[in-house]
Structure 1
Amino acid sequence: MKKLFFISSIMSSVLLACNQNPKQTQQATTEDHSMHDQCYQAITNADTLDMHIHNHDGKVQGSLAFRFKEKQNTQGDISGEFRGDTLFVDYSFDLNGTPSKNPLVFLKQGEELSQGYGEIETYLGKTYFKPGAQIDFGKGFNLKPTNCK
Protein backbone atom coordinates (compact mmCIF):
# COMPACT_ATOMS: atom_id res chain seq x y z
CA MET A 1 0.00 0.00 0.00
CA LYS A 2 2.85 2.38 0.84
CA LYS A 3 4.48 1.55 -2.53
CA LEU A 4 1.22 2.33 -4.33
CA PHE A 5 0.89 5.67 -2.52
CA PHE A 6 4.53 6.52 -3.25
CA ILE A 7 4.17 5.67 -6.97
CA SER A 8 0.90 7.64 -7.15
CA SER A 9 2.57 10.66 -5.58
CA ILE A 10 5.46 10.55 -8.05
CA MET A 11 3.14 10.12 -11.05
CA SER A 12 0.96 13.03 -9.87
CA SER A 13 4.01 15.27 -9.51
CA VAL A 14 5.28 14.32 -12.97
CA LEU A 15 1.89 14.90 -14.57
CA LEU A 16 1.46 18.22 -12.79
CA ALA A 17 4.91 19.38 -13.92
CA CYS A 18 4.26 18.27 -17.50
CA ASN A 19 0.92 20.07 -17.62
CA GLN A 20 2.33 23.38 -16.40
CA ASN A 21 4.89 23.93 -19.17
CA PRO A 22 2.49 23.59 -22.12
CA LYS A 23 0.13 26.12 -20.55
CA GLN A 24 2.95 28.62 -20.12
CA THR A 25 4.23 27.95 -23.63
CA GLN A 26 0.73 28.22 -25.09
CA GLN A 27 0.10 31.50 -23.25
CA ALA A 28 3.41 32.99 -24.43
CA THR A 29 2.69 31.82 -27.99
CA THR A 30 -0.77 33.37 -27.90
CA GLU A 31 0.67 36.69 -26.70
CA ASP A 32 3.46 36.63 -29.30
CA HIS A 33 1.07 35.89 -32.17
CA SER A 34 -1.79 38.18 -31.22
CA MET A 35 -2.98 40.89 -33.58
CA HIS A 36 -1.34 44.28 -33.16
CA ASP A 37 -2.67 47.60 -34.44
CA GLN A 38 0.13 49.89 -35.48
CA CYS A 39 -0.06 53.40 -36.90
CA TYR A 40 2.65 55.41 -38.61
CA GLN A 41 2.98 58.87 -40.10
CA ALA A 42 5.58 60.63 -42.22
CA ILE A 43 5.64 64.32 -43.06
CA THR A 44 8.15 65.58 -45.62
CA ASN A 45 7.82 69.24 -46.61
CA ALA A 46 4.10 69.50 -47.45
CA ASP A 47 3.64 65.78 -48.26
CA THR A 48 2.17 63.32 -45.78
CA LEU A 49 1.82 59.55 -45.56
CA ASP A 50 -0.47 57.91 -42.98
CA MET A 51 -0.46 54.14 -42.44
CA HIS A 52 -2.65 52.01 -40.16
CA ILE A 53 -1.89 48.29 -40.09
CA HIS A 54 -3.15 45.19 -38.34
CA ASN A 55 -0.15 42.89 -37.90
CA HIS A 56 -0.98 39.28 -37.13
CA ASP A 57 1.93 36.85 -37.18
CA GLY A 58 3.76 38.98 -39.76
CA LYS A 59 0.73 39.11 -42.08
CA VAL A 60 -0.42 42.68 -42.55
CA GLN A 61 -3.74 44.30 -43.54
CA GLY A 62 -4.52 47.98 -43.30
CA SER A 63 -4.94 51.36 -44.92
CA LEU A 64 -2.60 53.90 -46.45
CA ALA A 65 -3.10 57.53 -47.49
CA PHE A 66 -0.73 59.73 -49.47
CA ARG A 67 -1.41 63.48 -49.38
CA PHE A 68 0.78 65.48 -51.72
CA LYS A 69 1.12 69.20 -52.23
CA GLU A 70 1.78 68.94 -55.98
CA LYS A 71 0.44 65.49 -56.96
CA GLN A 72 -2.87 63.66 -56.81
CA ASN A 73 -3.70 62.33 -53.33
CA THR A 74 -4.45 58.64 -52.99
CA GLN A 75 -6.01 56.53 -50.28
CA GLY A 76 -6.53 52.79 -50.21
CA ASP A 77 -5.90 49.41 -48.65
CA ILE A 78 -2.69 47.50 -48.13
CA SER A 79 -2.06 43.81 -47.60
CA GLY A 80 1.16 41.88 -47.41
CA GLU A 81 3.70 40.49 -45.01
CA PHE A 82 6.93 41.02 -43.14
CA ARG A 83 9.87 39.06 -44.47
CA GLY A 84 12.43 39.49 -41.73
CA ASP A 85 12.64 43.23 -41.07
CA THR A 86 11.14 44.21 -44.44
CA LEU A 87 7.43 44.82 -45.04
CA PHE A 88 6.19 44.03 -48.56
CA VAL A 89 2.62 45.15 -49.36
CA ASP A 90 0.30 45.65 -52.29
CA TYR A 91 -1.36 49.06 -52.24
CA SER A 92 -4.84 49.09 -53.82
CA PHE A 93 -6.34 52.51 -54.53
CA ASP A 94 -8.39 54.49 -57.06
CA LEU A 95 -6.69 57.10 -59.22
CA ASN A 96 -9.11 59.32 -61.13
CA GLY A 97 -11.77 56.61 -60.83
CA THR A 98 -9.48 53.85 -62.11
CA PRO A 99 -8.59 50.98 -59.74
CA SER A 100 -4.81 50.66 -59.35
CA LYS A 101 -2.47 48.36 -57.45
CA ASN A 102 1.20 49.02 -56.73
CA PRO A 103 3.79 47.18 -54.66
CA LEU A 104 5.36 49.08 -51.76
CA VAL A 105 8.22 48.11 -49.46
CA PHE A 106 9.26 49.39 -46.03
CA LEU A 107 12.31 48.57 -43.91
CA LYS A 108 11.70 48.37 -40.15
CA GLN A 109 14.51 50.08 -38.23
CA GLY A 110 13.75 50.08 -34.53
CA GLU A 111 10.19 51.40 -34.26
CA GLU A 112 10.32 53.31 -37.57
CA LEU A 113 9.63 52.27 -41.16
CA SER A 114 11.57 53.60 -44.17
CA GLN A 115 9.91 53.45 -47.58
CA GLY A 116 12.01 51.85 -50.27
CA TYR A 117 12.24 52.26 -54.01
CA GLY A 118 13.43 49.65 -56.45
CA GLU A 119 13.01 48.28 -59.92
CA ILE A 120 9.55 46.88 -60.52
CA GLU A 121 8.17 44.78 -63.31
CA THR A 122 4.77 43.54 -64.44
CA TYR A 123 4.01 39.99 -65.49
CA LEU A 124 0.53 38.73 -66.35
CA GLY A 125 -1.02 41.90 -64.94
CA LYS A 126 0.76 41.64 -61.56
CA THR A 127 3.27 44.36 -60.63
CA TYR A 128 6.02 43.44 -58.14
CA PHE A 129 9.58 44.27 -57.18
CA LYS A 130 12.01 42.61 -59.55
CA PRO A 131 13.64 39.65 -57.78
CA GLY A 132 17.28 40.32 -56.91
CA ALA A 133 17.09 44.04 -57.71
CA GLN A 134 18.45 46.52 -55.16
CA ILE A 135 15.95 48.46 -53.05
CA ASP A 136 16.98 51.94 -51.89
CA PHE A 137 15.52 52.87 -48.50
CA GLY A 138 17.12 56.32 -48.40
CA LYS A 139 14.83 58.24 -50.77
CA GLY A 140 11.31 57.54 -49.51
CA PHE A 141 9.17 58.54 -46.56
CA ASN A 142 10.46 57.82 -43.04
CA LEU A 143 7.46 56.78 -40.99
CA LYS A 144 7.37 57.22 -37.23
CA PRO A 145 4.95 55.44 -34.90
CA THR A 146 1.92 57.47 -33.90
CA ASN A 147 -1.23 56.89 -31.87
CA CYS A 148 -3.97 55.12 -33.80
CA LYS A 149 -7.10 57.22 -34.18
Structure 2
Amino acid sequence: MKKLIPFCLLLACIGFQSCKNDEKQKELEAAKAEGEKVVKTECYKAIYEKDTIDLDLYTLKNGKIGGGMIMKVANAPERTGEIAGEFKGDTLFIDYTFKDTEHKDTKFKNPMALLKKDKQLILGNGTMQTTMGVTYLVKDKPIDFENVKYKFNSVNCE
Protein backbone atom coordinates (compact mmCIF):
# COMPACT_ATOMS: atom_id res chain seq x y z
CA MET A 1 0.00 0.00 0.00
CA LYS A 2 2.87 2.37 0.86
CA LYS A 3 4.36 1.85 -2.61
CA LEU A 4 1.02 2.54 -4.31
CA ILE A 5 0.64 6.10 -2.92
CA PRO A 6 3.91 7.52 -4.42
CA PHE A 7 3.11 5.81 -7.72
CA CYS A 8 -0.34 7.46 -7.84
CA LEU A 9 1.18 10.85 -6.98
CA LEU A 10 3.72 10.44 -9.77
CA LEU A 11 0.99 9.63 -12.31
CA ALA A 12 -1.04 12.67 -11.20
CA CYS A 13 2.00 14.97 -11.59
CA ILE A 14 2.67 13.62 -15.09
CA GLY A 15 -0.97 14.22 -16.03
CA PHE A 16 -0.89 17.83 -14.78
CA GLN A 17 2.39 18.49 -16.59
CA SER A 18 1.03 17.19 -19.89
CA CYS A 19 -1.99 19.53 -19.60
CA LYS A 20 0.37 22.47 -19.05
CA ASN A 21 2.41 21.48 -22.13
CA ASP A 22 -0.77 21.38 -24.27
CA GLU A 23 -1.72 24.89 -23.07
CA LYS A 24 1.76 26.24 -23.83
CA GLN A 25 1.69 24.66 -27.31
CA LYS A 26 -1.69 26.27 -28.05
CA GLU A 27 -0.40 29.66 -26.84
CA LEU A 28 2.69 29.37 -29.09
CA GLU A 29 0.57 28.47 -32.13
CA ALA A 30 -1.79 31.41 -31.48
CA ALA A 31 1.17 33.81 -31.16
CA LYS A 32 2.69 32.49 -34.40
CA ALA A 33 -0.60 32.90 -36.27
CA GLU A 34 -0.92 36.47 -34.95
CA GLY A 35 2.63 37.30 -36.07
CA GLU A 36 1.92 36.01 -39.59
CA LYS A 37 -0.91 38.46 -40.29
CA VAL A 38 -0.24 40.83 -43.19
CA VAL A 39 -0.10 44.46 -42.05
CA LYS A 40 1.22 46.13 -45.22
CA THR A 41 1.36 45.36 -48.95
CA GLU A 42 3.70 47.07 -51.43
CA CYS A 43 4.26 46.44 -55.13
CA TYR A 44 7.32 47.28 -57.22
CA LYS A 45 8.45 46.99 -60.83
CA ALA A 46 11.96 47.11 -62.30
CA ILE A 47 12.56 47.63 -66.02
CA TYR A 48 15.99 47.42 -67.63
CA GLU A 49 16.23 47.29 -71.42
CA LYS A 50 14.05 44.23 -72.33
CA ASP A 51 13.94 42.88 -68.76
CA THR A 52 10.99 43.29 -66.39
CA ILE A 53 10.73 42.18 -62.77
CA ASP A 54 7.51 42.44 -60.76
CA LEU A 55 7.81 42.28 -56.97
CA ASP A 56 5.00 42.10 -54.41
CA LEU A 57 5.99 42.53 -50.75
CA TYR A 58 3.87 41.65 -47.74
CA THR A 59 5.01 42.91 -44.35
CA LEU A 60 3.86 40.60 -41.58
CA LYS A 61 3.01 41.69 -38.05
CA ASN A 62 6.15 39.95 -36.75
CA GLY A 63 8.32 42.11 -39.07
CA LYS A 64 9.13 39.37 -41.56
CA ILE A 65 8.66 39.94 -45.28
CA GLY A 66 6.94 37.61 -47.73
CA GLY A 67 5.64 37.96 -51.24
CA GLY A 68 6.12 36.97 -54.84
CA MET A 69 8.35 37.85 -57.76
CA ILE A 70 8.14 37.30 -61.52
CA MET A 71 11.34 37.76 -63.52
CA LYS A 72 11.13 38.19 -67.29
CA VAL A 73 14.73 38.53 -68.46
CA ALA A 74 15.59 38.62 -72.17
CA ASN A 75 17.07 35.39 -73.55
CA ALA A 76 16.23 33.48 -70.35
CA PRO A 77 13.24 31.43 -69.19
CA GLU A 78 10.63 33.26 -67.14
CA ARG A 79 11.01 32.74 -63.39
CA THR A 80 8.07 32.77 -61.00
CA GLY A 81 8.34 32.28 -57.26
CA GLU A 82 8.06 33.42 -53.69
CA ILE A 83 10.28 35.54 -51.51
CA ALA A 84 10.84 35.40 -47.76
CA GLY A 85 13.17 37.49 -45.64
CA GLU A 86 13.55 40.49 -43.40
CA PHE A 87 14.99 43.97 -43.20
CA LYS A 88 18.31 44.55 -41.48
CA GLY A 89 18.53 48.31 -41.26
CA ASP A 90 17.66 49.67 -44.71
CA THR A 91 18.57 46.46 -46.55
CA LEU A 92 16.07 43.71 -47.29
CA PHE A 93 17.67 40.25 -47.35
CA ILE A 94 15.48 37.67 -49.04
CA ASP A 95 15.53 34.15 -50.39
CA TYR A 96 13.86 33.84 -53.78
CA THR A 97 12.44 30.34 -54.30
CA PHE A 98 11.31 29.92 -57.90
CA LYS A 99 10.59 27.69 -60.87
CA ASP A 100 11.31 28.61 -64.45
CA THR A 101 9.47 27.75 -67.65
CA GLU A 102 12.17 25.30 -68.81
CA HIS A 103 12.57 23.31 -65.58
CA LYS A 104 9.00 23.17 -64.28
CA ASP A 105 9.67 20.30 -61.87
CA THR A 106 12.78 21.83 -60.29
CA LYS A 107 12.80 24.52 -57.60
CA PHE A 108 15.70 26.92 -57.36
CA LYS A 109 16.62 29.20 -54.46
CA ASN A 110 18.74 32.34 -54.63
CA PRO A 111 19.61 34.89 -51.96
CA MET A 112 19.13 38.56 -52.79
CA ALA A 113 19.74 41.91 -51.12
CA LEU A 114 17.65 45.00 -51.86
CA LEU A 115 18.55 48.44 -50.53
CA LYS A 116 15.56 50.65 -49.68
CA LYS A 117 16.34 54.20 -50.79
CA ASP A 118 13.50 56.72 -50.79
CA LYS A 119 10.65 54.94 -52.63
CA GLN A 120 12.98 52.60 -54.53
CA LEU A 121 14.40 49.17 -53.89
CA ILE A 122 17.81 48.59 -55.49
CA LEU A 123 18.85 45.00 -56.23
CA GLY A 124 22.48 44.68 -55.19
CA ASN A 125 25.28 42.63 -56.68
CA GLY A 126 27.02 40.48 -54.10
CA THR A 127 29.43 37.59 -53.99
CA MET A 128 27.57 34.30 -53.65
CA GLN A 129 28.91 31.04 -52.34
CA THR A 130 27.40 27.57 -52.29
CA THR A 131 28.15 25.19 -49.45
CA MET A 132 26.51 21.77 -49.16
CA GLY A 133 23.88 22.76 -51.74
CA VAL A 134 22.90 26.04 -50.04
CA THR A 135 23.70 29.34 -51.77
CA TYR A 136 24.18 32.47 -49.69
CA LEU A 137 25.70 35.95 -49.88
CA VAL A 138 29.23 36.02 -48.47
CA LYS A 139 29.18 38.11 -45.28
CA ASP A 140 32.70 39.56 -45.51
CA LYS A 141 32.24 40.82 -49.09
CA PRO A 142 30.42 44.14 -49.66
CA ILE A 143 27.25 44.27 -51.75
CA ASP A 144 27.39 46.76 -54.62
CA PHE A 145 24.26 48.92 -54.85
CA GLU A 146 25.80 51.49 -57.25
CA ASN A 147 26.58 49.58 -60.47
CA VAL A 148 23.27 47.77 -60.83
CA LYS A 149 20.71 46.93 -63.50
CA TYR A 150 17.53 46.69 -61.49
CA LYS A 151 15.98 49.56 -59.55
CA PHE A 152 12.45 48.84 -58.42
CA ASN A 153 9.96 51.70 -58.42
CA SER A 154 6.80 51.63 -56.37
CA VAL A 155 3.64 50.84 -58.40
CA ASN A 156 -0.02 50.36 -57.57
CA CYS A 157 -0.86 46.81 -56.54
CA GLU A 158 -3.36 45.05 -58.78
TM-score range, shorter chain: 0.7 to 0.9
Structure in which a larger fraction of residues adopt strand: 1
Structure 1 residue 82 corresponds to structure 2 residue 105: no
Q: TM-score, normalised by structure 1?
A: 0.74
- Identity across aligned pairs (percent)? 35
The residue type paired with residue 150 of structure 2 is F
Deviations, residues 28-57 of structure 1 (Å, cap 9, x unaligned): xxxxx9711000001111110100010125
Counterpart of 2:155 in structure 1 is 146
Quote the offset at 1:85 in angstroms.
0.2
Q: Distance in 2 between matches of 1:35 and 1:53?
A: 11
- List 4+ stretches of structure 1 deviating above 2 A: none
Deviations, residues 8-67 of structure 1 (Å, cap 9, x unaligned): xxxxxxxxxxxxxxxxxxxxxxxxx97110000011111101000101253100000111
Within-5 A mapping of 1:1-149:
35-56=39-60, 57-95=62-100, 96-97=103-104, 98-138=106-146, 139-149=148-158
Query: 5+ residue gaps in structure 1?
Result: 1-32
Counterpart of 1:8 in structure 2 is none
Q: Describe the SS at the equivalent of 1:66.
A: strand
Q: Distance in 2 between matches of 1:140 and 1:129?
A: 18
Q: Describe the SS at the equivalent of 1:54.
A: strand
Q: Describe the SS at the equivalent of 1:118.
A: coil
Deviations, residues 64-99 of structure 1 (Å, cap 9, x unaligned): 011122221101000000000000000001131221
The 1:147–1:83 alpha-carbon spacing in structure 2 relative to 1, beyond 3 Å, is same
Query: 2:48·2:149 contact (CA, 8 Å) conserved in 1?
Result: no
Quote the offset at 1:124 in angstroms.
2.6
Query: 5+ residue gaps in structure 2?
Result: 1-36
Q: Distance in 2 between matches of 1:143 and 1:90?
A: 17
The 1:68–1:109 alpha-carbon spacing in structure 2 relative to 1, beyond 3 Å, is same
Q: Distance in 1 between matches of 2:38 and 2:73?
A: 34
